[in-house]
Structure 1
Amino acid sequence: MTTGAALPLLTIVVPSFNAAAYLHRAVDSLVGIGDIDVVIVDDGSTDATGVIADNFAAVHPDTIRVVHQKNGGHGAAIETGIAHARGRYLKVLDADDWLDRAALVRVLDTLRGRDAVGGIDALFTDFVHDRVGKQNRVSRFDSVFPERQVFGWNDVERFSKRQYLMMHAIIYRTALLRESGLQLPHHTFYVDNLYVIVPLARVRKMYYLPVSLYHYFIGRVGQSVEANVMLARVDQQLLVNKLALHALPSPTQVSSGEVPLALYTALLHYVEALCAVTSATLARGGTPEHLRKRQDFWAEIKRENPWVYTRMRRSFMGTSSNLPGQAGRRVTLLAYHVARRVVGFS
């Protein structure tokens, strides 16, 4: 690994599986911009993804590297990217998404300035939901974070019901990512939620730059957050939800001051939404097996963390995604569509 002054400022990891139709757009948004290190992880693709990635690396050998690996899923590709990162900071860019070039230049200028005076743990930006057949929507955090200054959790306001700090909004310090012990399940979708929660619990020194950096392309057929795909992969959602719950700091850590209350509140806000969407997805499935899994899921939360269970079930999302009976499930279905829009899955 490169050391010392030769370190690039920012590594951008591009996990890629059968992304030949999109990879050009993602990587074109990065080429020709200095002080970045691009790691394309070809996760066992069977289409032309690997060839496209290698062609990019051949043209831009000082900036772009490619790692080819046996298919392990999104989590395995992210882990590989983190392991190969040379930059002091790290951003994940899914192969079907892209970054705004002007915003990226401003992000690099900001990171450069912050790094010169001690660095930060995380930089947050706004991001754009680029929705197929619908009007784009920007997720902004100007009501939550102070702008253009280093801040801590005591300076953070509450997230609204439409504000979720998804992976698209976050750049982490690479060393913090590695120190967090982040482990992502392989052959599993929705692991980007763990990428948010596990390292974020260690973040203390932050900066918010109000630019729309990330373009989250949503609405294509077969995407992991498409409603029918989510139902088919609901067991993977359940696994990720359980791991996210286990990753939450304990109330003791909060009461002792080890974990700032505002940080815990932000993490719980995020996990509540994940659990509500999964619960409503199971209700939408509606079969006896789906409903049994939903009942078992909430019973496990109640058994392992009664306080979190009570809080979640009293929240609007928790209540509306768990109403009993046929009439209740009709309301739950409506809540499901609302929750998907709120979280950003539609």
Structure 2
Amino acid sequence: MKLLSVAIPCYNSADYMEHAIETLLTGGTELEIIIVDDGSVDDTPQIADKYAAKYPNIIKVIHQENGGHGEAVNTGLTHSTGLYFKVVDSDDWVNEGDLLKVLCTLRELVEDGKSVDLMICNYVYEKPSINKRKIIDYKTALPQNKVFTWNDIMYFKQSQNILMHAAIYRTKLLRDCGLKLPKHTFYVDNIFVYQPLPFVKTMYYLDVNLYRYFIGRDDQSVNEKNMIKRVDQQIRITKIMIDSHDIMTIKDKKLKNYMIKYLCVMMMVSSVYLIKENTEESLKKKQELWEYLEKSNAKLYKKILNKFLGRSMNLPGRTGRKIVELGFKISKKIYGFS
């Protein structure tokens, strides 16, 4: 069995996928690289097959009909043989030295009989177009150099949500919790890191800048214009997350609070882009989303509404919308989003 499986979802990724693959190859034979060619029509299949032929003990390739990012992750998880599982998008990459540290730490934990459910590492927003880089770390939120539980976590800043870039899950946990991402839908990474959380009992935070998250391509899902255009998919993901757990019944208080905070951010993101679209239809969709939350879980609705983000998303009229847009512009400057 491999120590770590890494799935690389690829759709027409010929221009940049080799960088992701080359950085991962540093991990050697303890690493399994699963390239999922999601119905590409460029040279992606040929590049993937070339690497698989050259590194048959490390790389496997799955060719499938186009199903979107979520289905490619599902396929990677299905074919994974590693004890742990991670996703690296084809336009991103990993820091080679930090990858070796991750593998070393995972190996030591396994050998000591302390296999954790979730390892968390830092990630880096890379925006070469403006020569900007921002590291997201968890030093103020998580204990270091020890196995810990939800009871041990500290305060999470708004920038410190555990995103897909930061997460390395135990493969069996993902399978046991029934994780299955929807097809042909963007923003599924939120489900990937959110749905399994109540099943996570033990964690380990390694303070290394493992994941490099490229920001700046016009066709990226996080591009502002694309997020407005695809806001219906953002809403769909948010509803799936609302329905995935009855958060208010979770007994672990710190886990419950973290999940509420995460869902609050999801509600904010959907609301912001609906407000920025600023049509009668989009504002109606925002109202319907909040009504959906209220009908699904009235206690959770009140909890989120009483938080600052919830209140700010529901300020009435033009003034409320202006405040939301101002907050969004500030957050873009802070975090370097496109």
Structure 1, unpaired ranges of 5+: 1-6, 255-259
SS at 2:250 equivalent? helix
Percentage of identical aligned residues = 40
Aligned to 1:40: 35
- Tell me the number of residue pairs that the alignment of Structure 1 and Structure 2 aligns: 335
Structure 2, unpaired ranges of 5+: none
Aligned to 1:169: 166
Q: Is the 8 A contact 1:277 1:321 kept in 2?
A: no
Structure 1 position 274, deviation (Å): 1.3
AA partner of residue 320 (structure 2)? G
- 1:136 to 2:130 alignment: no
Determine the C-alpha separation between the residues in 2 that align with 1:323 and 1:267: 23
Determine the C-alpha separation between the residues in 1 that align with 2:265 and 2:333: 11
Q: Is the 8 A contact 2:11 2:39 kept in 1?
A: yes
Among 300, 313, 319, the alignment partner of 2:292 is: 300
Aligned to 2:18: 24
Among 207, 214, 226, the alignment partner of 1:229 is: 226
* Cα offsets for 1:26-71 (capped at 9, x unmatched): 0010124220000000000111111111111111111001000000
Among 56, 71, 78, the alignment partner of 1:76 is: 71
AA partner of residue 38 (structure 2)? D
Q: Is the 8 A contact 1:273 1:343 kept in 2?
A: no
TM-score by length of 1: 0.93
Q: Is the 8 A contact 1:281 1:336 kept in 2?
A: no
SS at 2:283 equivalent? helix
Q: Is the 8 A contact 2:2 2:31 kept in 1?
A: yes
AA partner of residue 203 (structure 1)? V
Determine the C-alpha separation between the residues in 2 that align with 1:316 and 1:96: 35
Determine the C-alpha separation between the residues in 1 that align with 2:333 and 2:270: 14
Structure 1 position 337, deviation (Å): 3.0
Among 229, 239, 244, the alignment partner of 2:241 is: 244
Q: Is the 8 A contact 1:103 1:212 kept in 2?
A: yes
| RMSD of Structure 2 on Structure 1 (CA) | 1.5
- Closer, same or farther: CA 253–161 of 1 in aligned 2, 3 Å: closer
Among 98, 107, 114, the alignment partner of 1:112 is: 107
Aligned to 1:10: 4
- Closer, same or farther: CA 73–266 of 1 in aligned 2, 3 Å: same
Among 261, 273, 289, the alignment partner of 1:269 is: 261
AA partner of residue 129 (structure 1)? Y
Determine the C-alpha separation between the residues in 2 that align with 1:284 and 1:322: 14
Among 299, 303, 319, the alignment partner of 1:327 is: 319
Q: Is the 8 A contact 1:277 1:339 kept in 2?
A: no
SS at 1:129 equivalent? strand
Determine the C-alpha separation between the residues in 2 that align with 1:342 and 1:243: 29
Q: Is the 8 A contact 1:161 1:342 kept in 2?
A: no
